[in-house]
Structure 1
Amino acid sequence: MYGVINNRAQTMSDQLNVTLALAKQAFDELLALTTFDELDHFQFATGPKLDRIVELLNKLNRQINDVDRTLSELVSDLADPPLLSVPPAHRNNYYEIVVEHGPAIQRAHLKAAGLGEFLDILETTDDANPKPYRLQALAFALERWRDSRDNEEGEFEWMHEWYERGFNIDGAIQVVQTPWFQPDRWAQNLRLLRPVLIDRRTDSLRDLARHRLTEVYRAFTFGLWLAAIALSRSLVEYAMKANASRLGIELVSVTTEGRREDKSLWDLQQEVSVVLPSLSSSMETVRFTGNRILHPSKHDVMSHPVVLRSEALSCVLATKQIVEALYSQLPEPTPPKEVKGVKS
């Protein structure tokens, strides 16, 4: 089973690398022909240049959708860690083309196709309370299936036959009718998540980290906001400690009395920020929100569910960034500046 999972992840990684490489070629050619400010207004004279811009936008829109679909498929398989190994160049391409400029490219694509009226759909990608289309479809189908037996003779034999085949329609209806069964909200939550992309082997994350990562994504998907926040904090602390030696950080400090003490999460955060300053804000988000959830004071007020969902999403996305950075290749240390007249 592990080999099957690895083969599937490797296939996804290979497909992603090819698509991102082709997208980079199209992206560079597009920027040689125009700017994003011009694309935003989309006011070009007709001619070969415009034809080529439209062609490149079509290609990039298709490639961005292919990349997004591949990553969504990986995240939707909640049985496995949402983790993928991608070479540094392709990972950079993903963040530059898909994440940073993808929305602008897709807006320009719709304008070029004369479909500017659909821009609102592109901009509105999240709804904390989506319409229950999936729930209603499941409930309707199961009830129709159950009611069809009213027209058959031998109800006991009918039920026995379906139990033998592994179906419990009445039990399924009971599950669908419970208030916690919310597949439309689960699907909407899942749409906001993308896998962790690292440029090293995925087995550089030990099982303790992989299990925590899986649970973070599951908790957010199923609307367990407090659990998602608490698990994010746990994973970040574990990731810092697991990579401390790579970062040149000691996990213990010596007090003035000579006692050795484990460094707090805040201490680790400060030291990691020196090596990876881009993570400072994300680490503070996870630490502050996690501490408020795990160690609430009597003055803390529980956030509204919509606010709590937003806080949980911020923690999950911050955790994703932190894990990606800590388990990928680290930047080369900056050599000390030579002071004039002083030998280093």
Structure 2
Amino acid sequence: LTVSIIVSDTEPPALTFTPATLAVDSGGTGSSTLTATDNVGVTTGPDVTCTRGSFNVGNNTYTAPVLSGQELIGGVSDTCTATATDAAGNTGTAMLEASIEPPPDTVPPVVAFSPATLTVNSNARFYGLSLTATDDVGVTTGPDVTCDQGTFFSSTRDNPDYYTYFAPQVSEETDVECMARAFDAAGNAGSAALAITVTPRPADRQDTLPPVLIFEPATLAVAPGATVASTLTATDNVGVATARVVTCSLGSFNVGNGTYTAPDVSGDTRAVCVATTSDAAGNTGAGALTISITAPGPVVSFSPASLALESGMTGMSQVSATDAGGNVLTPTVTCTNGGAYDIGTGVFTAPTVTEDTFSVCTATATDGNGR
């Protein structure tokens, strides 16, 4: 009688991950050696299933999933379970715990105004502005808005995604910029700009430009007592409101016909005429005309101005000299080719010559101005 005494196998396979824990970057890999032993022998496995990633039994490599959204803030954990079975149907297990670390967040929030540009009247409101801020992980601070002029605020408590801009009061067209900034948990900052043109209302406009006055020509040269022309024009960005007034240091200017009349002076001098006018805002403009007044030199003459004489004979020709004021001057006379002139008597004495000869006498007088 042969009796086979069979010992029942109740011992499951022993499975081990070495190491049993891993720290792996998002989408990265890590190594852990999986072993499976049995007192009789493993017949099935080991097989591995993971809640998130995957484990390759052939090369003992764990591959982490790629994290996204809120997973990027703090990371996630993963559990891989290995199983193996022996011939008796006993099943053994082992666990691998993986900690999956998120990658560094370098992407800033995306901030946007809609519309990004607008035109607003002075001291008026613009309703219905949209401001959004999004981030691949999440916005933690903001968006906050600052404006270099005016104010930006939420339109209603019930709908905080719509905003209102309140423009300042301006007297001329003004460019304003509002800047929105938002931050994520990693400290990345995103920003957007809202460009605003604030236009003044007619009642707010302030005219600060004075009228422009021009003399043409702006310089004159004139004799004493003479009259010369210079055209005076006055222009303004809004309009000239008062009459043009011209004052001169010497002489006078006629605005009606655009002429300057010099004073009757005996010496050279200089005069300046200044024209002024104002616009409705009270801005005053001015223009200048510069005049050089030049008095004529002395008037010198012989009477008669020519003589015909025989050699050594005399003839009469009176010389006279007066300045611009009619004052009598005493001239000096010089003659060529031996002729002689007596200022006191007005007698010219011809030289003794053997052939026809010309003698020229030149009279010179100087007035009080050195002319």
**TM-score, structure 2 length as denominator?**
0.18
The structure having more radius of gyration, on CA atoms, is 2
Normalized against structure 1, the TM-score is what? Answer: 0.19
Between structures 1 and 2, the one with greater strand share: 2
Say which structure, 1 or 2, has more relative contact order (CA 8 Å, 6+ apart). Answer: 1
